[in-house]
A = this chain, B = another copy of it.
Amino acid sequence: MAAETRQLAAWASRLSYADLPRTTVEATKRLFADWVFCAHAGASYRVISAMEAMASDVGGDARGPASTFSGPPRAPYWAAYLNAGAGHVVEQDDLHNASVVHPATVVFPAAWAVAQAKGKSAREFIAASVVGYEVACRAGILLGREHYRVWHVTSTAGTLGAAAAAGRLLGLDTDGILNALGSAGTQTAGLWEFLATAADSKQVHCAHAAGTGVQSAFLALHGVTGSHNILLGKQGMFAGMVPGVDLASADATRLLPVPGKFQIDDSSFKFHASCRHTHPSADGLLAIMTKNNLTADDIASVDCHVHQEALNVLGPAEAATSVHQSKFSMGFVLGVLANGRSAQLADFTDARLSDPAVRAFQKKVHMHLDKGVDAAFPAKWTARVVVTTTDGRVLEEDVQTPKGDPGNSLSDAEFLGKWQRLIDYADRNASVDVKALAKELLALEEREDMNGLL
């Protein structure tokens, strides 16, 4: 089964900007722009400041050519590491449905840092990012739902994507990309166990993935070999990291690129500021409340019929003792949404954790595994939401394409609104002109280099 990985690596080593349809270039720029604003918003979070301090303690001076959101420009490993954490912490970055990977925050920081270190153009950066998305998403699709049960696939598959993007910018050939993937895959990690106590590992995972991807590509550049079959070898990722599933059942064809079609086209933007697993239900509740002109007090109960992973990921967060954890509680998120019809960044605060209206609504929300919803997942993220009103009405909404999906994307005005809220939230509105930066980022392909964006 090494042949499919080799085909993917060969494709990755050759893809160039000229191969990309206009729509793919536009999607890539918009995803990068969205991620830049997310990283601005996350850069001064406690956990990112702690990562900065750690990097200074153990990495030496390490100033360098690569921009960071959280501090001075750094050498590429540290820039990739820090920016990946910053881009994920506010939970507003993109999600690729079929793989359940958040690709932006592992692929872009790696590609950006290497592009700056090597003086590459924005077009080379764009092509490398498309490569990184393709590899991360295809690896995630291959590893599948049983992998995701224990492993944070953004981190595990993401390390491969980061390595591929970095490797493309270094001009690695097929064997070089394979070596980079081998080193990346054998260092890939990220367990969900931190969810049980809402520990800080989610950002550490992304940082580790992007940083390790950069290291792996440079190791390959300097001749360090890795397994050429790291995903599907007898002692590789699938064999070791997909509990309870036999290697023989792996579908290697999932790794094969399809001419003219790119995984990056399928990534979804986040609208609500909560875990993506809450979004289909949030959309359903919002639709029911809007159509029927309901207030939170009109609602007796909300039954969310969801896929299994929603139960797995959101279940442990129900207590919601921190702002970050509260975005992973279905009850809390719907409580926020019901009391104000908005679940944006500024709606999740320390004060909100003890808001009696939200906490009261939370008790009305129940999740149920739904066979149809579950069968459609992860290719489609759907939900069936049933609201029972205090006056006895039963109202139902079937959400097939949640807000932010490629088929139901944000409008230009909604993007600008989201990005402005991200900047306002981080209290960076004095230093970041959202409209001007958005304009620059959406004309990215004209840039000779990737410097001076922050």
Contacts and interface: CB of A to CB of B under 8 A. Distances in A.
A59 B197 CA distance: 33
A15 interface: no
Contacts of A228: 197, 199
Interface string A174-193: 00000100110111111111
Contacts of A218: 53-54, 57-58
Contact of A243 (B149, B151, B204, B239): B239
A60 B46 contact: no
B204 A224 contact: yes
Given A61-B61, A187-B204, A237-B191, A51 B224 contact: yes
A188 B225 CA distance: 20
A97 interface: no
A119 interface: no
Contacts of A241: 240-241
A227 B186 contact: no
A222 B61 CA distance: 18
Contacts of A75: 58-62
A218 B305 CA distance: 42
B63 A60 contact: yes
Interface string A211-248: 01011001101111111111001111101110100000
A201 B183 contact: yes
A223 B50 contact: yes
Interface string A64-83: 10000000001111100000
A236 B152 CA distance: 11
B227 A208 contact: no
Centre residue among A59, A76, A197 by max chain B CB count within 10 A: A59
Contact of A189 (B78, B188, B221): B188
A191 to B, nearest CB: 5
A226 B240 contact: no
Contact of A194 (B54, B215, B226, B240): B226
Contacts of A63: 60-61
B59 A227 contact: no
A323 interface: no
Contact of A54 (B222, B229, B235, B237): B222
B197 A227 contact: yes
A150 interface: yes
A193 B61 contact: no
A178 to B, nearest CB: 10
A205 interface: yes
A58 B191 contact: no
Given A191-B237, A193-B230, A208-B212, 15 more contacts: A46-B223, A47-B224, A53-B222, A54-B218, A54-B222, A57-B222, A59-B75, A60-B63, A61-B75, A182-B199, A185-B193, A187-B204, A191-B236, A193-B239, A204-B219
Interface of A: 46-47, 49-51, 53-54, 57-64, 74-78, 117, 149-151, 179, 182-183, 185-197, 199-201, 204-205, 208, 212, 214-215, 218-219, 221-230, 233-237, 239-241, 243
What are the 8 tightest A-B residue pairs by CB atom distance, in nearest-first order? A60-B75, A58-B77, A50-B222, A60-B62, A192-B235, A150-B240, A193-B236, A193-B233
